[in-house]
């Protein structure tokens, strides 16, 4: 059943979930916090389990709000002049004594709170005992499955999973504190791009993305011929901006099921894609006017071969 056939009846809130060794490399160009698709994929897996449940199969899960309390990339730097490097693990050798062909990834440890949209055809079809079962089952499932490639090691002992009705959605903000919510900052990227084009008409969105990651040291000379250096950044005054992947763009024809080799699931059509980048922003919950706009969803544009994660704003 499609989302348009259902309505949001409330939210599941997973309080202070600790994830060990999540994938810190979010795309070929960015690292730090995991990609949003890692969280949407975990919720989709949980929703599939609901569809197979005897009494909860009329309920599904959809959008995800991500609030981060702490993120610790597992990196090392010998001194302040060196670049950071990821702490890599030494994987066991094979029977023949050779090193296994495992591509080691960068890891991070997370402390997050997740709010997930709960959907049903009609709120009247969802009884109190259904909500109790949903809370109990989802608490088990989140401990059993991976999230962004990492293992869930702990969830808050105080009300680990709570259900908030749509009418009481204003109660969500206090539940997220103290944390920062990941928001889409595409408008900031457009603004920074336009500023660059004022001096360089050939500037692109990629130039703006690189400008956000840069610090510009600008010298200024006063009337006494004394030079003072000032540091300038494109994101000054615009909040906590971070480059992030927001989906994929198809770069090949769509292959029929089973044609492309080594795919994860040969039962579905496959396509070669490349990552699409934009800006994200970490925002304090009370600075978000409409918290409904903070939920990430899948969005597909098959005509333009776009597979995106977006927010309603």
Tens digit of each residue's pLDDT (9 = 90 or more) over 1-33 = 446 678 898 999 999 999 999 999 999 889 999
- Judge contact between 15 and 161, C-beta under 8 A: yes
- Taking only the tens place, the pLDDT of each residue in 95-146 is 888 877 777 789 999 999 999 999 988 776 778 888 999 999 999 999 999 9
Residue whose pair of structure tokens reads 């918290």 in the numeric block: 291
Nearest one of 279, 207, 212 to 246, comparing CA atoms = 279
In this prediction, residue 313 carries a pLDDT of 47
Nearest one of 135, 112, 113 to 59, comparing CA atoms = 135
Q: pLDDT exceeding 70 applies to what percent of the chain?
A: 98
In this prediction, residue 1 carries a pLDDT of 40
For residue 302, pLDDT over 90 is answered with no
In this prediction, residue 234 carries a pLDDT of 85
Taking the whole predicted model, whether its pTM rises above 0.85 is answered as yes
Q: How many helices (H) and strands (E) does the chain have?
A: 5, 15
What are the residue ranges of helices labelled H in the chain? 36-51, 128-144, 172-176, 186-199, 205-212
Across the chain, what does the average pLDDT equal? 90
């Amino acid at each position: 059943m499609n989302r348009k056939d259902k309505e949001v009846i409330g939210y599941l809130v997973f309080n202070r979930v600790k994830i060990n060794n999540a994938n810190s490399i979010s795309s070929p160009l960015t690292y730090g916090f995991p990609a949003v698709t890692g969280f949407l994929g975990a919720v989709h897996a949980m929703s599939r389990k609901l569809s197979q449940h005897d009494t909860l199969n009329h309920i599904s899960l959809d959008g995800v709000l991500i609030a981060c309390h702490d993120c610790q990339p597992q990196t090392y730097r010998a001194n302040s002049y060196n670049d950071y490097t990821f702490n890599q693990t030494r994987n066991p050798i094979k029977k023949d004594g050779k090193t296994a062909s495992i591509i080691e990834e960068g890891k991070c440890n997370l402390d997050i709170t997740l709010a997930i949209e709960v959907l049903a055809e009609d709120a009247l079809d969802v009884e109190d005992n259904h909500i109790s079962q949903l809370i109990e089952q989802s608490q088990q499932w989140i401990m059993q499955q991976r999230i962004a490639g990492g293992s869930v090691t702990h969830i808050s002992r105080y009300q680990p999973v709570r259900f908030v009705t749509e009418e009481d959605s204003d109660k969500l903000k206090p539940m997220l504190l103290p944390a920062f919510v990941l928001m889409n900052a595409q408008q900031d990227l457009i603004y920074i791009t336009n500023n660059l084009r004022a001096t360089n008409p050939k500037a692109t969105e990629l130039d703006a993305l690189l400008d956000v990651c840069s610090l510009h040291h600008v010298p200024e000379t006063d009337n006494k011929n004394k030079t003072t250096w000032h540091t300038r950044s494109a994101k000054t005054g615009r909040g906590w901006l971070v480059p992030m992947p927001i989906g994929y763009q198809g770069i090949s024809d769509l292959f029929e099921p089973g044609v492309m080799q080594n795919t994860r699931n040969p039962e579905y059509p496959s396509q070669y894609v490349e990552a699409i980048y934009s800006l994200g922003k970490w925002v304090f919950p009370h600075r978000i006017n409409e918290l409904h706009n903070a939920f990430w969803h899948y969005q597909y544009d098959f005509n333009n071969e776009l597979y995106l994660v977006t927010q309603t704003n």
